[in-house]
Amino acid sequence: MKRFYEKVPRIFKNFYFLSALFFLIWMLFFDSNDIITQIKLGHKQAELENAKEFYEHKIVEVKNDREALLNNKELLEKLAREKYLMKKESEDLYIIVEEE
């Protein structure tokens, strides 16, 4: 009857194979840069890049709105009346809220 050690395939007895296998398992699961962490960081990076793109678009939009407001007095007055509820001294302001 063969002993257990004799039944093990020869490749599993090789020191270099065992070292490489240990290194691979260590790097995939136990290291601070393991594969799970790398996947999470990849998802986080994609989210941050999407947010960056969104905010860059918003910055351009705000700059365009600012330029329009600085160059057009009527648009500035309209914004002040609608958004900030400002009025002239001789006017009365009524706010109508529609119920749904």
Which tens digits make up the pLDDT trace of 26-66? 888 888 888 888 899 999 999 999 999 999 999 999 999 89
**2 band by pLDDT with thresholds 50, 70 and 90:** low
More confident residue, 57 or 3: 57
Cα 21 to Cα 25: distance, rounded to the nearest angstrom: 6
What was the pLDDT predicted at 40? 93
Domain residues of the chain, as ranges? 1-31, 45-88
pTM strictly above 0.75: no
Q: Rounded to whole angstroms, what are the CA distances from 32 to 12, 36, 38, 46?
A: 27, 10, 9, 21
Q: Which residue has the tokens 């509820």?
A: 85
Q: Which residue has the tokens 């004799």?
A: 6
- Report percent pLDDT > 70 for the chain: 96
The helix/strand/coil state of 2 is: coil
